[in-house]
Amino acid sequence: MRILLVEDDALLGDGIRAGLKLADYAVDWVRDGEAARLALLDHAYHACVLDLGLPKRDGLSVLEDLRQRGRNLPVLILTARDSSADKVAGLDAGADDYLTKPFELPELQARLRALIRRSGGAATPTLEHAGVVLDPASKRVTRGGQPVTLSAREYALLHDLLSHRTHIRTRSQLEESLYAWGEETGSNTVEVYVHHLRRKLGADFIRTVRGLGYQLGDAT
């Protein structure tokens, strides 16, 4: 899961990024509104954590621009602006959630989980396919009721595939989901993690769609 973090406060941004990385998100961090606008144009994110008071372009303007372009990724506003009028303006501009500073990191993480879950169309908090169950809150995975141990990348790949269960995911989409900017990606890393997941979850769990990418296998 890849998150865009928009925060101009260096200390706070560093803390949020570290907290989200601990929760196994790939985090791209930008510090002004214009950089945020460009990042949202160029990359696919699962969610955006957006400060409002930003250099170059206000967060609300970034959000309005995003929604005008018809992009519906979940946006959580994280701001010191705590008046009711500010919250109304933020939500009316297209935010999905609004959290005021100061805040607790576990609450931010839980709200992001809920937003990403809803945007994936899943009504239940766990994701399930062919006897494999992934619980985003506890980050536990079971197969046939038995716990399965996954590395952080394997977990992230599985989470992506389960969140797009009816879609074919291209290798580059999966790479975008697994890695933040500047992280080294080997040429065949997605294949390697797919291989690991098949070993742990069954050879047919992930299907290769030749020339296109990967998809969950038939639930038999």
Q: Which residues bind Ca ion (CB under 5 A)?
A: 8, 51, 53
How far apart are CB 188 and Ca ion at their closest, in Å?
40
Which CB, 101 or 199, lies closer to Ca ion?
101
Please, which residue, 7 or 154, has the CB nearer to Ca ion? 7
Closest to 136 in 3D by CA, of 149, 146, 125, 128: 125
Please, what is the minimum distance in Å from the beta carbon of residue 62 to Ca ion?
12
Decide whether 86 or 135 has the Cβ nearer to Ca ion.
86
Q: Cβ(63)–Cβ(93) under 8 Å?
A: yes
In whole angstroms, how close is the CB of 101 to Ca ion at the nearest point? 9
Stretch (H or E) spanning 127? strand 127-129
For 174-201, give one letter per residue: b (16+ CB within 10 A) or e: bbbbbbbeeeeeeeebbeebbebbbebb
3-class SS of residue 147: strand
The dihedral region occupied by 98, where left means phi > 0, alpha psi between -120 and 50, and beta the remainder, is: beta
Among residues 50, 41, 38, the alpha carbon closest in space to that of 4 is found at: 50
Closer to Ca ion by CB, 1 or 77: give it. 77
Nearer residue to Ca ion within complex by CB, 1 or 6:
6
Provide, rounded to whole angstroms, the least separation between the CB of residue 74 and Ca ion. Answer: 20
Q: List the Cα angle 147/150/153 in 5-degree steps.
A: 155
- State in angstroms the smallest separation of the CB of 54 from Ca ion: 6
- Residue 23 phi, psi dihedral angles, 5° rounding: -85, 15
